[in-house]
Amino acid sequence: MLAKLRPVATRLVRILGPDPAAVGQSLVALAISIAATLAAGLTLASAEGRLSELPGLLLLVPAAIAQRGNVFGAMGSRLGTSIHTGTFRISARPDTLFGQNVIAGIGLSWVAAVWLAAVAKLLAIMFGVADSMSLLDFVAVSVVGGMIASLLVLAITVALAAGSSRWGWDLDNVTAPLVTATGDLVTLPALLIGSAVVAANVASEIIGLLSIAVALVILFMVLRSSLPILHRIVIESLPVLAVASSISLVAGIVVEKRLQSFLDEPALLVLVPAYFGMAGALGGILSSRLGTKIHLGLITPSAIPSKVAWEDIRSVVALSLPIFGLVGLFSHLGAVVFGTASPGVWSMVGVAMLGGIAAIIVVVAVAYYGTLAAVRSGIDPDTAGIPLTNSVLDLVGAFTLVAAILLLGVA
């Protein structure tokens, strides 16, 4: 019996990827990420009162979660490439490659949070989100929540880089899932802290005005900086993050417009962070692998993916099948355990798999051709790949999630 099963197991491993160690690292990281995003989903489901009290808050959720991955997933990808090329070294000096990446991560997080708030308010007006928060309230929620989450995710990213350098992990396989997991786990509670400031009317206007002023100062100082890596990261990242966050916010509008469906079936709120998080993690893994292999000369950018690129694409698509099934299953179980209404296990699994697989097909194309476009434009694919993939994923994922819910008649 074991002899008959061995070839099947070997074939499954080959489908998941040519490198068993890389597959194992990805699976462990994705498993941790599922647990963390489910905790985030339960947090979101428990906050349905706050979502009703502050219209527009749910609009920020997909974009704020994606922002952690956009900034620190890209940072982890750059550090992963530096480990592969032998130039990585942790240092407290701001003029080192590591120091400039850390400064860029903090500065970009602050500026991106302000931009996120401004576009969120604009979209809330354009799409008629009734009685949405004021611009300064959006800024206060976004910056307070965003910076609390960013500092925690930064610490995890640095720890992963250090562990990768010391113990030989491949940062391309673990950064995206674990940064996603940490981002999901801390961003939602952090946003709720920010929203509590607004709900309690605790100087939210002053916080909003100061946040905008600090963002302008950061931009001025970075643009005049003599640190070349910092300057390049910020200059290349700002337009990418601006486009990425705007696309993610449109995804938030799609979810916000279906708010009542999620409130009627709160288990769907449990599903939201895990669904977006897993799709983003899978897309991030692919973007990181492609970026590193292009830097190392293992992949030559071409309109038709090479054999090496196809192996990574096949691996990510194969990983997505069980991952989305588990997301639906554990979202249902988590909802049941914590007394949250669920439409049923098969409905939850069906929504997660139908929506997730449709989204991941688009993400694969964006990850490959986005990386290709970045290289041809002279932009570091490590900087552009993950944000572009995550933002398109958020938009496509929002539509496929809502479409799956409607097609299956879940809400």
Q: What average pLDDT does the segment 78-107 reach?
A: 81
Res. 8 pLDDT band, cuts 50 70 90: very low
Burial class of residue 296 (count of CB atoms within 10 Å of its CB; 0-12, 13-18, 19+):
exposed
| Structure token digits, residue 249 | 């916010």
Give domain limits for the chain: 2-407
Give me the pLDDT at residue 2, please: 45
Residue 169 is predicted with a pLDDT of 64
* Segment 1-9 mean pLDDT: 49
Burial of 303 (0-12, 13-18, 19+ CB in 10 A): exposed
Element (H, E) at 9: helix 2-16
pLDDT given for residue 3 in this prediction: 52
Q: According to the model, what pLDDT value does residue 214 have?
A: 93
Specify burial of residue 342 (Cβ count, 10 A radius: 0-12, 13-18, 19+): buried
Nearest-10 Cα torsion for 183, 184, 187, 188: 180
Residue 59 and residue 253: Cα distance in Å, rounded?
Answer: 5
pLDDT band at 18 (very low <50, low <70, confident <90, very high): low
- Who has greater pLDDT, 165 or 339? 339
151 vs 308: CA distance, rounded Å: 36
Helix (H, G, I), strand (E, B) or coil at 230: helix
Mean pLDDT along residues 157-181: 69
**Residue 177, token pair as written in the block:** 């899932």
User: What interhelical angle do 204-223 and 228-257 show, nearest 10?
Assistant: 140
pLDDT band at 217 (very low <50, low <70, confident <90, very high): very high
DSSP conformational letter for 70: I
On the question of pLDDT at 197 being above 90, the answer is no
Q: Is the pLDDT of residue 288 over 90?
A: no
Q: Mean pLDDT, to the nearest integer, of 112-120?
A: 89
Question: What's the whole-number mean pLDDT along residues 70-80?
Answer: 78
Q: What is the pLDDT of residue 233?
A: 86
Assign residue 17 a region (left: φ > 0; alpha: ψ between -120 and 50; beta: otherwise): left
Q: Quickly tell me which residue has 């933002």 as its tokens.
A: 391
Kindly state the average pLDDT of the residues 317-329: 84
Per cent of the chain over pLDDT 90 is 3
The average pLDDT across 81-108 equals: 82
Q: Which of 217-226, 300-309, 316-325 has the highest mean pLDDT?
A: 217-226
pLDDT digits (tens, 9 = 90+) for 228-283: 888 888 888 888 888 877 877 777 777 666 666 666 777 777 787 778 777 777 77
Closest CA to 30 of 174, 136, 140: 174
Asked if the model's pLDDT at residue 215 lies above 90, the reply is: yes
Mean pLDDT, residues 315-344: 82
d(CA 70, CA 244): 8
Query: What pLDDT shows up at residue 266?
Result: 74
Residue 161 CB contacts under 8 Å (≥ 6 apart), including other chains: 76, 79, 80, 83, 88, 90, 98, 171
Average pLDDT of the chain to the nearest whole number: 77
Q: In this predicted model, what pLDDT tens digit does every residue of 351-410 receive, in sequence order?
A: 888 888 888 888 788 778 877 777 777 777 666 666 777 677 777 777 888 888 888 887
**What does the alpha-carbon distance between residue 31 and residue 38 come to, in Å, rounded to a whole number?**
11
34 versus 133: which is more confidently predicted? 133
pLDDT of residue 5: 45
Q: How many C-alpha atoms does 239 have within 13 Å on its Cβ side?
A: 5
- Could you tell me which residue, 42 or 144, shows the higher pLDDT? 144
- Global pTM value: 0.67
